Structure 1
């Protein structure tokens, strides 16, 4: 296999499983931080003595931080390679939840939220760029399983967080999260794939690309992630308020969506290696479309939950395929293509749900879940660009 790839030290030593494990651990850690933040929100609100509107602005600051630092991270990846950038961003991210727990007032909280969002996003771009390099080195798809580890990290972080805070308190939880992050990073550190930047073209690559292709792939990421954000933020409310689900049952919408998404992400790489990026993306998009329309038209909660589960199966591999394609575009550094796709994708996930909430006040959520799948038609029209996801040699 060595003769087909760049003879990096990792490959020469036969460390294929190690570079894959390292990048998987980075995704797990990033997801764990994000998941650990969710159960802290009520305590965070009480400690600072703020209302919903101020909390909404703080969460918006998290999103702004992500969107500001993501393109900057992409530029540094083109200049320095993903290994250096992912190490630095992961070190800075690890204690940020602890910093957020210790903020004395709203003004400091704004800065801390900006940093947390910024470094979650910057590390996200870097670890996706590293995953693209690992795909090229291994000559097979791994992006979907990397995103499955992110989902798993999020699930672990949110599941443990509430219980931990209830038993031990907010500060011990933040210290625990910091220790876990540094421990995971210590294991991954020596195994992270060292990729070579191209110093001769790094300067020009620091500019945002003027060719339409990365923006079209970004549009695929955006229209794949808006529905994901909609289910995450509004699924439970829809089940409870419009379909009469109990509090316990309404939680199952997101649980079903998350579970099918995580499971399918672990299977996604094998499917993509077998059928190619374009065909996989089209089947996933159609499945997600059917699932969300079913959820929107459902006469009762169980049927809507089934719709969300189907949507999770579909959406699961749409984003990883878009990210693989973005990182493998001809004539473009992986960090730059990825920063465009992640920037557009995450902006959809961060900002669209608030807009959707505003519209839903006037229309109800059933209409929203029935109409949001219109975005998938655009994804289908652009799906031929997913051919770039196969450039890693999976065929």
Structure 2
């Protein structure tokens, strides 16, 4: 394949992986409106529901840590095909579970295939970045956010109109149609990249674990706002439910917007500078939210925080997939597992602390984690690209 055909294939691959991100976000977002039905259908308590959601997280982390080995052996395109098709059926399997034991097994599998697909699609996005010599990771995550918005937004209406089982089946069909396009056009990594690290082992380079810390500290704020911002506004400001709902909504809105602009920003200013500025913006927003005198100041501060958070995880993932001396799959497996552990583990710890101290000190403490990302930002240098010569017309 000549240089012109390689670039053309990479451009198709760029939109294919974007479609995969959308499909993953769509299936994940479609789970949210299923939760109330899931609770009443199985006649379980909120505590049991929390345990089942934890099982989802355990499945995701377990498959994420294993997926790097599979990608190193078979390449991200092949692994994406396996996990992508399985992920399309994940919500339907959960909706069909008739009792708690089978629901636990289905949640474990649902989390596993979603997590495995997550690692594979991020690894493939890194491969596209290498082919094109420019960033696409932030906008790819923007498509995930868009998919989650669509899935969550129309899910409740679909369930109310057609029932939870028809909704789950419809989500499966839509995801399969999208993936039918995406899986045909995903690019294949260079042979020597996919062949590395055939034996399953953890990377020995300590830098990859520091990048994982950056991802962890970048994702904890997202989980904090998602799970506790509304309660913070209700308990400490007396905000009504409608006002409290704006906390995560405004945060997610600014984050999604900037993710679609983030690649251009990063291509112009570089990964390190973008990450440093982003982490300071996020830290400032979180700090102001912790000291806010009114709920609307807190909402505005969280929206400002979303501007910074948007690009931090995509840059960390790009840095992971471009670490010298290791395959994209191996680096991505470590960093995604560490990063998503923050969303899965941190909310319970934050809830425990917030219950004893209030949530204002929690938001201030989380801002300190973002300062740590600022200090570690130099490790994102591997996410930058050296321009390659374009083929002559």
Normalised by the length of structure 1, the TM-score is 0.95
- CA RMSD, 1 decimal: 1.6
Secondary structure in 2 matching 1:373: helix
Once residues 394 and 172 of structure 1 are traced to their aligned partners in structure 2, the CA distance between those partners, rounded to angstroms, is 49
Matched, 1:106 2:100: yes
Distance 2:380 2:254 in 1: 22
Change (3 A) 1:393 1:79: farther
Instruction: Find the residue that maps to 1:317 and give its secondary structure.
Output: helix
Show the 5 A alignment for 1:215-230. 215-230=209-224
Q: 2:25 & 2:346 partners in 1: Cα distance?
A: 21
Equivalent residue, structure 1, for 2:58: 64
Aligned position for 1:211: 205
- CA distance in 1 between counterparts of 2:24 and 2:367 reads 28
Q: What's the CA shift for 1:11?
A: 1.7
Aligned counterpart for 1:11 among listed residues 6, 15, 26: 6
Deviations 1:272-300 (A, max 9, x none): 00000000000000000011111111111
Are positions 1:376 and 2:381 aligned together?
no
1:87–1:189 Cα contact (<8 Å) kept: yes
In structure 2, what is the equivalent of residue 298 of structure 1?
292
Residue matched to 2:21:
27
Structural mapping, 1:32-111, within 5 Å: 32-111=26-105
Q: How does 1:312-331 map to 2 (within 5 A)?
A: 312-331=306-325
Q: Does the 8 Å CA contact 1:328/1:392 hold for their aligned counterparts?
A: no
**Contact kept in structure 1, 2:73 and 2:195, CA below 8 Å:** no
Matches of 1:393 and 1:143, distance apart in 2 = 17
CA 1:2 to 1:137, structure 2 compared with 1: closer, same or farther past 3 Å? Answer: farther
**Separation in 1, partners of 2:2, 2:249:** 42
Helix, strand or coil: the match of 2:97? Answer: coil
Corresponding position of 2:255 = 261
Deviation string, structure 1 residues 62-95 (Cα, Å, up to 9, x no partner): 0000110001111110111100001110011111
Q: Distance in 2 between matches of 1:66 and 1:295?
A: 31
Query: Given the alignment, which residue of 273, 276, 291 partners 2:267?
Result: 273
CA distance in 2, matches of 1:35, 1:114: 17
User: Is 1:161–2:155 an aligned residue pair?
Assistant: yes
Residue 2 of structure 1 and its aligned partner are, at CA, apart by 5.4
> Hey, which bits of structure 1, 4+ residues long, moved more than 6 A?
none
Q: Note if contact 1:285-1:376 (Cα within 8 Å) is conserved in structure 2.
A: yes
- Confirm or deny that 1:201 pairs with 2:196: yes
Structure 2: 5+ residue runs without aligned partners?
none
1:178 is matched with 172
Q: 2:317 and 2:144 mapped to 1: Cα distance?
A: 14
Gaps of at least 5 residues in structure 1 are none
